[in-house]
Amino acid sequence: MRRRDFLKKSAGAGLAAGAVFSIGGYKKFLSGSPANAKYDMVAVMGGSPEAMFDLGIQELGGMGSFVQKGQKVLVKPNIGWDVIPELAANTNPLLVKRIIEHCFRAGAKEVYVFDHTIDNWVNCYKNSGIEKAAKAAGAKVVPGNSESYYQKVEIPGAVVLKTDKVHEIIFGTDVFINVPVLKHHSSTRMTCCLKNMMGVIWDRAFWHSHNLYQCIADYALFEKKPHLNIIDCYNVMVKNGPQGVSKEDIVQMKSQIITTDWVAGDAAAAKMLNTEIEKIEYIPLAYKTGVGNMKLDALNIKRIKM
Amino acid sequence: MRSPFLRRFRILFSALVFICFFIVFADFKYLIPSKYINIVLSLQFIPSILKFWDLRTLITAGFVAVLILTLLTGRTYCSFLCPLGIGQDIFSRIGGRIKRKFRRYGFKKPFTIIRYTLLAATIIVTLIWGIYLLTLLDPYSIFGRFMTFFGNPAVILINNFLSGILGKFDIYSLSHIHITGFKLLSYSIPVLFFLLIGGLSLTRGRLYCNMICPVGTLLGLVSKISLVRIKFDENKCTRCGRCSVGCKSSCIDFLQHKIDASRCVVCFNCINTCQEKAISYGITGVKPKSAETDASRRKFVAGSLLLLLGIRQSVRAQNRTAPVPKKESTVKENKTFPVCPPGGVTILDFNTDCTACSLCISACPNGVLVPALLQYGVEGMMQPVMDYHKSFCTYNCTRCTEICPTNALHPLVLDAKKLTQIGKAVFIKDNCIVKTEKTACGACSEACPTKAVHMIPYEGNLVIPETNNEICIGCGHCEFACPTTPYKAIFVDGNDVHQAAKKPENAESEMKTPVDFPF
């Protein structure tokens, strides 16, 4: 059996199982079971990436309220660029490592890390420090460099992006944790939770050429949504994004935003970058479809200063 | 010496050399450091001559070592060091398995006219017109192209098969690699040569090396005066002819007890075949009757070497100052010049030095290099050219410049490469998504490592690209990322003379570290 056939056959089962988990998991947060729905969002400031995550996830009931024993977890950082960690074009490797450790402590059977990089993927994985950090924490680092890893999916309700090709690992895992790094973006002005999904699909050129804002918002309708979004705002690239030129682009904000609502996460991130939410057009577009809430006033946000 | 271990040593040694070359070209994970690759390549005859010509350092004088080796031991280079020769030996062995007849050679007359004409033509054409024939006939470059066009993809196919199996078991240590290949026309010359050399070696032993290969012919001339060579003990010989039948160079005339040293590749097969132990490898005294011819041949050897080194300089000196006019009609996307890889310095320099061994094409981690068709003109056929529709030159990499065996690509340190402008981005606003579709894009600016391509305000909330050629290095990431088809809205026009780009200036951000949450 070729791997593709194998995957096709197992995809059905995987999808069914995944859907159960995703709906089950999601509803739990939204319906407000007392253990973990105390807050829609936790924002932490003033500590190291690891310390802020330790504190923040605790406020959301610990990793155990997201990862059940024996589950497989996908941690999706931004590893898009062949840039060293200090320049913050990629998610902080220390944060990625700590998240993986929490997953295993919560009983995860397997944790996977991957990104469809923009620069040469081997160099990105290596020079971002994420491959090393993830492997040190026991995760499996999965390549995303070949179209053969991507499967065609349909996105019901999408305006433009009705079908797309998504990395197979997203179907092979039960829990999806989105770990974007907050950055300025030359075209969309900001890249964070929603835009980080450009690293789980194959054909970015389609998004760019078919109304980028709409495609980003459309993808948010896809059934495999992140169960948790952890926004790395430790070092924030405030200009020349998303790749950056030098350390002058970086402002050390020493912050972190942890949320189950990725539209809210993007809205808060926009505030961090001092950018009008409406100017980042995909946020209101996604808000209108109901996948999340960009009105931060309506949310229950826990703010912690360390 | 008559030891049977000579042959075994030759087989072992050449197998190791072949494996080294195979790995150098098949290293699709780019694990082998450049310095080791350079060691493996240092003794290749033609590349070493070209490199020495540029650098004049002792360490690049590998060809001198080869010449000395040949003077001492005969054409051992062809059996021990030439990857194409070793590859042919493997083919001959396979040929013998297919049909025994294919490994029964027997003495044949040399193709004297063909081989010396080809040698002379190669030298003359190289000196007067350019590198065409050297590119076509240098055995190392031919081998390199075989590996780049066929060997490397074959290894990746095996990798993909294995990675598929491992993937089922949740193991991701191997990853699937997409094989893109080249334009169909690029395959014509490698395929032709593969059929020619493969066919000849399968059925006729080393006929290619003794009829066509200019390096073989040149070293053959040198080996006529070599110190140590294969010789007969006429008293012991029973004229059974086994040695001659087994000689893949067809150079043993056992009836007359003569071995044509110009064709003998010193494989030692005959020593092992001879049951009477009449053949040995040792120092030969120069026979009195051949002294006369030796002198004239020596002159020819010396003359051709002089020609090779001496006149080349004057030809090159002329070429350096006169830019070659490009046939613009052959170049797509309104490029004035094709984009030549970093380290090439000028397209002209690069074209005159590169023998299209294609090692850089195999070694490029980004797969941006492809063999040129007519982008550089006829002279540059098969030489590497940047194809930004296929990929882009990754910012933090100098691999191709480090491994070039002919110094057609000069070594660049990373900081220098990051400021080497091999071309300039040209923005075609009328093709741009932002203008035509009135939607956001910015794929080019996102990809730009220096922000030479940046976004400026356009209609409404939209931003549109603008280029700054002072800091653009021509890496082509913008062109690669641009989603428009069939013509890109941004492309890199090559620099015929590579220039120094300015370092991108970057002011401190106005934003300050927040003291409280802004939400």
In order of start, what are the domains of chain A with their CATH numbers?
A: 3-305 (3.40.50.11440)
Q: Global pTM?
A: 0.85
Cβ of A122 and B29 within 8 Å?
yes
CB-nearest to B445 from A118, A186, A272 is A186
Question: Nearest chain B Cα to A280, which residue?
Answer: B461
Give the one of A239, A249, A303 whose C-beta lies nearest to B517's C-beta.
A303
The two tokens of residue A80 are 């898009």
Strands A175-179 and A72-77 turn out to be: parallel
Judged by CB atoms closer than 8 Å, whether chains meet at A249 and B506 is answered as yes
Query: Which chain B residues contact residue A249 at CB under 8 A?
Result: 506, 509
Q: Would you state the structure tokens that stand for residue B413, as one six-digit string?
A: 């340190």
8 Å CB contact between B225 and B297 = yes
- B159 touches A: beta carbon within 8 Å: no
DSSP-derived 3-state class of residue A161: coil
Whether A209 sits inside 8 A of B396 (CB atoms) is no
The yes-or-no verdict on residue A19 having pLDDT over 70 is: no
A232-284 pLDDT, tens per residue? 999 999 999 899 999 999 999 999 999 999 999 999 999 999 999 999 999 99
Single out the residue of A80, A160, A68, A147 nearest to residue A120, CA to CA. Answer: A80
Three-state DSSP class for A306? coil
Pairing between β-strand A41-45 and β-strand A301-305 as defined by DSSP bridges: parallel
Handedness of CA A194, A196, A202, A203 (dihedral sign): positive
Cβ of B430 under 8 Å from any chain A Cβ? no
pLDDT at residue B485, as a whole number: 84
Q: What is the pLDDT along chain B (519 residues), one digit of tens a residue?
A: 778 899 999 999 999 999 999 999 999 989 999 999 999 999 999 999 999 988 888 888 899 999 999 999 999 999 999 999 999 999 999 999 999 888 889 999 999 999 999 999 999 999 998 888 999 999 999 999 999 999 999 999 999 999 989 988 888 888 888 888 899 999 999 999 999 999 999 999 999 999 999 999 999 999 999 999 898 888 889 999 999 999 999 999 999 999 999 999 999 999 999 998 899 998 876 443 433 444 555 555 554 544 444 433 333 333 333 333 323 323 357 889 999 999 999 999 999 999 999 999 999 999 999 999 999 998 899 999 999 999 999 999 999 999 999 999 999 999 999 999 999 999 998 889 898 889 999 999 999 999 999 999 999 999 999 999 999 999 999 999 999 888 889 999 999 999 999 999 898 888 888 999 998
pLDDT tens-digit series, residues A140-163: 999 998 899 999 999 999 999 999
A281 with B440: Cβ contact below 8 A = yes
Identity (one letter) of the amino acid at B215? Answer: V
CB within 8 Å of chain B, chain A residues 2-41 = 2-3, 6
- Bridge-based pairing state of the strands A110-113 and A72-77: parallel
In Å, how far from its chain's centre is CA A57?
15
* Enclosing H/E stretch for A166: strand A163-167
Higher pLDDT, A4 or A139: A139
Q: Is B126 strand, coil or helix?
A: helix
Best of A3, A40, A304 to disrupt the B interface by mutation (most B CBs within 10 Å)?
Answer: A3
The CATH number given to B328-500 is 3.30.70.20
CB contacts, 8 Å: A11 with chain B: none
Instruction: Give the Cα separation of B446 and B463 in Å (integer).
Output: 12
All CATH 3.30.70.20 domain ranges of chain B, comma separated, are 328-500
Contacts of B365 in chain A (CB under 8 A): 120, 122-123
ipTM for the whole complex: 0.87
Backbone angles phi, psi at B465, to 5 degrees: -70, 155
A118 touching chain B per CB within 8 A: yes
CA distance A286 to A282: 6
* CA dist list (Å): B221 to B71, B83, B123, B216, B262: 10, 21, 14, 9, 6
Q: Do A255 and B517 touch (CB under 8 A)?
A: yes
Measured in degrees and rounded to the nearest 5, phi and psi for residue A207 equal: -60, -45
A251 in contact with B, Cβ within 8 Å: yes
Token pair for A145: 């460099």
Give the distance, in angstroms, between the CA of residue B345 and the centroid of all CA atoms in the same chain: 19
Using CA coordinates, name the residue in chain B closest to A211.
Answer: B439
pLDDT band at A37 (very low <50, low <70, confident <90, very high): low
Give strand pairing partners of A190.
A184
